[in-house]
Amino acid sequence: MNYKIKKIINKKNKSKIVCLTAYSKNIAEIIDNHTDIVLVGDSLGSVLYNFNTTRKVNLNMMIEHTRSVKAGIKKSLLVIDLPYNTYRNKIEALKNSKRAIKETKCDAVKIEGGSEVSDIVNYLVKNKVNVLGHIGVTPQTVKGKFRSKGKTEKEKIKLIRDAQALEKSGAFGIVLECVYSDISKKITKLIKIPTIGIGASINCDGQVLVTDDILGLTNAKIKFVKKYINIRKIINSAVFKFKKEVKSRKYPTKKYSY
């Protein structure tokens, strides 16, 4: 087992796990100073490419962005999302995981689903692929509007079974997305591997958000997203100053010329 994976597992019940997304070297270099896990999420589909679904993201895109991110990381665990239709069976999942790891030098893959993918997770782990699970709202399978999970008794039972199945299969952690607070608390106490929440309350062992969202680079209006700064305003101000100096012939001065 990767020493970085062991470090993450050992944080359970001791220290909150900080996870953020990155799609480029520049952002990765900055957040690596503060994160335990950097996730190259298929959320890049909507954040960077304006896709209306993560299903349009392919493996080549994920690999190229992860290679860029890897160049900016020194300490964090690097996880790549396996995109839609790249792990429909054990053989396909292993082939694509091995390719992703070989070409990006990442530490682990993340796949969506619970009990229905537990055999695939187990097969990957047996073949030395570290896997981060993902249950609750799974964007690759959502059709229409996102709806939080764990409200009904039936959903609660399924979430618990899914989490236990992933743990048994060898996943080193599980992302809980848009899961009700009471059930995320129960799952976190029930399993021995870390839970990483996104819209799943403070009860999880860690938290993940899309970096572009917390910086205000996107216009996302999502209940669980807290914007810590409005980078759009800062960029707008800098670009305005540049335009003004160019038009008034103040830039470039001799200092900025050869």
Please say if 167 is a catalytic residue.
no
Distance CA 41, CA 208 (A): 11
- Identified catalytic residue from 92, 116, 177, 245: 177
Distance CA 213, CA 73 (A): 20
Whether the Cβ atoms of residue 211 and residue 27 lie closer than 8 Å to each other: yes
Phi, psi of 83 (to 5 degrees): -75, 170
Question: Helices (DSSP H) in the chain: which residue ranges?
Answer: 3-9, 25-31, 44-47, 59-70, 90-104, 118-126, 153-169, 181-190, 211-214, 231-247
Task: Classify the C-alpha dihedral 33-39-44-47 as positive or negative.
Answer: negative
Which residues participate in catalysis according to the annotation? 177
